[in-house]
Amino acid sequence: MAAQPAKPRNCAGATLDYIGARHVGVGPEVSSYTTQAVKIPMRDGIKLAADLYAPELPSGQTPAGLIMIQCCYGRGAGISFINARVFAARGYRALMVSTRGTAGSEGVFDPGSNEQFDSQDIVDWMRQQPWYPGSFATMGASYLGYSQWALLQNPPEDCVAAIIPVGPHDHAWHAWGTGSFRLDRASWSDVMSKGEEESGSIVSRLANIPGLSFLRSKELEEAVAGLPLDTSLQRYFGDRAPWLFEYLKHPCIDDDYWTSRRHNATLERVQIPILLVSGWWDTFTTQTMHQFKYLRDRGVNVSLIVGPWTHVQGSGIHSMPEIMDFLAEHLAKTGKYSHPPARIHITGSKEWRSMPTWPPVTEPKCLFLQEYNKIGSKLPLQNAPEASFVFDPLDPTPSIGGNQISSGGQVNDSAYADRSDVLAFTSEPLAQAFEVLGKPCVYLMHASDPPFADLFLRLSEVDIEDVSHNITEMYHALDPSRDMTQPLKLELQDCAHRFKKGTRVRLLVAGGSFPMYARNLGTAESRVFGTKTAPQRHTLTIAGGVSQLVLPVAADA
């Protein structure tokens, strides 16, 4: 089949590009551009659909460079603007390729399994084209970022830079890394398994799910609440999203099933400059912070931006000026990325901080869990009574804000303190301000009856009006064979927060966070395939200071 002719940008497209560029804060256009639909052959014979964007430059002037984007969310106006059109209008050529089995690409969509080889085939095809300049950069957020990590598992020599906002490198870590299943895999699979003609724009549906729950419908809410979980979801999905049920079958992240969906080896091999972008309430913050630290320790030229953002907000729409600077230095070779290695937003003070690395040097600040649901620097008495609560899997503790895929973020989580299935340890008003920079750690002398139980911990701040807002959190499915005479060491996710004078520190302890995570049923049965449930009594020993919160506090505090 002959290649389709390139189409010039029309007036409506130019208007949308102008409005979008103002919104994301980039400089003026240098050209218009054309779009050409192409088909890219893979080694197994299937063809991927793609759009090639080429700037219309004066005679004798060449594009600033080539950007490769792999996308499973279609190639429509919304997704193509932030990934291709904004760059084409500023002198770059961009190739936007739809993932296998999506948006006109042949084959079957099987999330995470084909990107490693398909991306290499795309690169091989690019090298054979007359317009190929000899090098390229990669770009794209979320699943588009995952596709970049898959390519970089075997880094092409002509790939010179990568821009990866909110992008995981390990599907298993996200799905089962806590020991409990992330139920946002169900809502994401619901969106991805429906055609755009049935569901509307994939991008808009992912970005605009209302309410505190990320679940998009009453029917899906009922499905994730049903028992057994696998059967309940099967009734909802039917023959859609077969990958979801493979996820459910493989709770061990080291299972062979996950091998093609995990790209930890990339962190060992990659050498090119990389720009990472995340938000404190992104779904993949933990993976992005791990990526930065690992690459930084290896001496890779890696830069990090972390803002007060959720997943969608951290996808690059608030970082476009820095992205343009990064491309100017590492692809176009016409500018300089003059920003620090780590550009961090400090919540609480609402300021940006430039840092040579992350985390910075800190000093431990120890706060002890005390009786009467207090927490503070004073050591509790040796005879301080235990604290306890009961988690009921049939009436689970709800997910409120936090690192949910689309409806999380920093929210008023005061409701937790009024629940009987949550312990809220709260300090006295602070006599002086201090900053927490890094991963808070909780040492918890904990027991549960029965031994099958999970823990959800959250660090929050209570303001002077007695309203609590979340800062960071963690989830952990406990080993039922653990030694309950030994304290647990539980690290929360990275954060950067300034506790102001007069505010209070709050540590929340619960036995679940539903529907963010599949519930522990309190029995030896699988949380995926089980039907029997049992309430779980959690007991914390606080006497003598055995349970404590350790905050990494700025060294000059």
Per-residue pLDDT tens digits for 535-556:
999 999 999 999 999 999 998 6
Q: How far is CA 528 from the centre of its chain?
A: 23
* Residue 520 pLDDT: 98
* Whole-number pLDDT of residue 130: 97
pLDDT at residue 213, rounded to an integer: 44
CA–CA dist 221, 213 (Å, integer)? 9
Q: How many CB atoms lie within 10 A of CB 254?
A: 10
What is the model's pLDDT at position 259?
Answer: 96
Low-confidence stretches of the chain (pLDDT < 50) are 1, 197-200, 205-213
Q: 7-181+251-355, which class in CATH?
A: alpha beta
Give the integer Cα–Cα distance in Å for 506 and 526.
Answer: 33
Helix (H) or strand (E) holding 351: strand 351-355
Q: Which of 416, 421, 436, 432 is nearest to 359 (CA)?
A: 436
pLDDT, position 121:
98
pLDDT of residue 407: 74
CATH code of domain 362-554: 2.60.120.260
The residue among 463, 548, 515 whose CA lies nearest residue 186 is 515
Both tokens of 338, joined, read 């003059």
One-letter identity of residue 518: A
Distance CA 119, CA 114 (A): 8
**Which two tokens mark 361?**
């040097």
Residues 6+ positions from 302 with CB-CB distance below 8 Å:
273, 274, 275, 276, 291, 292, 295, 296, 341
From-to residues of CATH 2.60.120.260 in the chain: 362-554
Query: How far from 536 is each of 228, 394, 526, CA to CA, in Å?
Result: 19, 11, 16
CATH code 3.40.50.1820 region(s) in the chain: 7-181+251-355
Q: What is the pLDDT of residue 200?
A: 45
pTM of the model: 0.95
At 145, the amino acid letter reads G
Quick one: pLDDT at residue 202?
52
Quote the pLDDT of residue 405. Answer: 81
- What pLDDT sits at residue 217? 84
